[in-house]
Amino acid sequence: MKDGSAKKDQFEATVSMGSDNVDDLRVGGHFTVECYDSLGDIKWEDGFDNLVVNQGLADMNAKYFSGTSYSATWFMGLIDNSPAPTLAAADSMSSHAGWTESANYSGARKQLTFGTPTQADPSVIAASAVSFSITGADTIYGAFVASDSVVGGTSGILFSEGAFSSVRNVVNGDTLNVTYSLSNNAA
């Protein structure tokens, strides 16, 4: 006697699409520093990545996506803090409790002149090297990029800040040549 029922196999499949094809824009920069003594001999070289702070990211996004014409002048300053700077995404020119600015160089903060990114590699834009003529003994801990040229000033936009992995000493007569490059593929 047959009961009319039959065994049936059941299969269930799920297909998931991964998100690996989504671009992830990460903005960051790198400082390269060379220190020369008063005779022009190299004393040391170093480099470090920076933190692009919230204020800098907000300014970049607001200007880029606002649809209005925009031009900016950016300046570099030096960080002098003991025993070591503390960098924070919430830092701004008016509030950066974890570091102070070095004033032991001649002139104002140094103006950055950025090149033009290429279509072949649009992810990087570099500025020409700037020179700091050191006017007194100091310990330099890093550098920053801001929209105001006044040494010790608290106005303008703080775009980025970065620190050496160890302290770097300078004396009167030294020259620091610093290059900054900005990349949209920072980790």
Q: What is the pLDDT of residue 163?
A: 92
Q: What is the pLDDT of residue 127?
A: 85
Q: What is the pLDDT of residue 17?
A: 47
Q: What is the pLDDT of residue 16?
A: 46
- The answer to whether 132 and 175 have CB atoms below 8 angstroms apart is yes
Q: What is the pLDDT of residue 25?
A: 56
- Rounded-to-10 torsion of CA 182, 130, 109, 160: 20
Of the candidates 71, 108, 100, the one whose C-alpha atom is nearest the C-alpha of residue 83 is 100
Q: Mean pLDDT per 10-residue run, the chain (187 residues)?
A: 48 47 64 95 93 83 67 90 84 93 96 79 79 96 95 94 91 96 67
Q: What is the pLDDT of residue 129?
A: 93
- Rounded-to-10 torsion of CA 81, 86, 90, 91: 10
Q: In terms of DSSP H, where are the helices of the chain?
A: 54-65
Of the candidates 56, 58, 89, the one whose C-alpha atom is nearest the C-alpha of residue 74 is 56
For the chain, which residues make up each domain, given as ranges?
Answer: 28-183
Q: What is the pLDDT of residue 10?
A: 45
Q: What is the pLDDT of residue 55?
A: 85
- The answer to whether 162 and 31 have CB atoms below 8 angstroms apart is yes
Residue with tokens 């690996």: 20
